[in-house]
Amino acid sequence: MIKKISILGSTGSIGKNLLNIINKDKNNFKIILLSAKKNYKLLLKQANYFNVRNIIITDFNSYKIAKEINKNKKINIHNDFDVLDKIFKNKIDYTMSSIIGLEGLYPTLKIIRYTKLIAIANKEAIICGWSLIKKELKNYKTQFLPVDSEHFSIWKILNFKKNKSIDKIFLTASGGPFLYKSSNQIKNVKISEALNHPNWKMGKKISIDSATMMNKVFEVIETKNIFSTSYKKISILVHPKSYIHAIVKFHDGTFQFLAHEATMKIPIFNTLYLNRYKKFKSKELDIETLNNLKLQKIDKKLFPVINILKSLPSKTSLFETVLVATNDELVKLFLKGKINFYEIANYILRITNSKEFQKYKKKIPKNIRDIHNLSDYVRLKVNSLCV
């Protein structure tokens, strides 16, 4: 049976990896929708190759150019996600939501009603809008699967076991490019050094988050949300080789861990072929790495942003939006050369610990507007303080 799918953010790394997997099994899939922000050239190329009738380009200038140059009148080009009710007459089988940043929250919420299963690779949506996503998933009986390697691994380990059986969850972190540096050595590192991740090929934003370890702070929040657990049950272990992605300790005294090579193709492949037998061509067991795991606790002096975990609210709140927006703007400032690497963590701790933003720990997002309004305000505040 042909599987009908949509990909939000098809020109990004997750989207391109998914399309490469689909291309090897093209006859079993029909792509209904692809989307991008600005990269209309690649999006049109993808649509033509996979015979996709509907694409969404959210940047208006890029949308206008695409409309002008589109010679294939079979492709319907749209500018926003409010057209989904016209595109989908019935529920499709699978959606990948991989739009980067908070821009991905609205499309994610909007498309849940039109898909039987949604795989979400958008951290910000899960961190800031999980309460809204969870409500939509329940209302429309849509299945959710996590795509990040750590959360995919936890999900795979649990295999539908009840969360009550979990005693502890350990997320692994590579340590990024500065694991073996001292705190003094990384104060004035070059942008190119911070982007040079030892294991993963990623975009600039996530590479910097990996270097500061802010990505692990975010992943702890995601873990708490996705698996309905408490922060007390989640720990981080440094694992330089990125071979083991998660470890779960159960109440019966047993530990289970999941290992796979450092590629996002494996989590993506597994969400796409859920409950279907399909072989993924992977490398042989890496015995050398297993014999030299070098698991260790995090050095909080080297990665001071980890201290944020001590004061996170137990329930979902608007404070997570403060964290995401603050970090986003600081990473942008660093990449523009306006602040140094050390100042990213310094400013994050200073800004989020201020009385002005601490109050949001007690405020729950009622709708997407609450999240976006606060995000816009925080970004303006960060720029006024740091530039």
Residue 126 has pLDDT above 90, yes or no: yes
Tell me what pLDDT residue 10 has: 97
Cβ atoms < 10 Å from Cβ of 123: 23
- Of the chain, the end-to-end C-alpha distance in Å amounts to 56
State in words which class domain 3-147 has: alpha beta
Strand order in the sheet with 76-78: 76-78, 54-57, 29-36, 3-8, 94-97, 117-120, 143-146
Tell me what pLDDT residue 161 has: 64
Which part of the chain has CATH 3.40.50.720?
Answer: 3-147
Q: What is the pLDDT of residues 135-175, one digit of tens each?
A: 999 999 999 999 999 999 999 999 866 677 899 999 999 98
Lowest mean pLDDT among 292-301, 316-325, 367-376: 292-301
Which part of the chain has CATH 1.10.1740.10?
Answer: 313-387
Could you tell me the pLDDT band of residue 373, with boundaries at 50, 70 and 90? very high
Query: Residue 122's closest CA among 150, 144, 148, 142?
Result: 148
Q: What is the pLDDT of residues 278-300, one digit of tens each?
A: 888 889 999 999 999 999 999 99
Map tokens 């600081």 to a residue.
330
Based on its alpha-carbon atoms, the radius of gyration of the chain, rounded to whole angstroms, reads 21
| CA–CA–CA angle 345, 171, 367 (5° rounding) | 70
Range 313-387 classified under CATH 3.30.70.920: no
In the chain, pLDDT over 70 holds for what percent of residues?
98
Cβ atoms < 10 Å from Cβ of 86: 10
Q: What is the pLDDT of residues 336-366, one digit of tens each?
A: 999 999 899 999 999 999 999 999 999 999 9
Tell me what pLDDT residue 162 has: 62
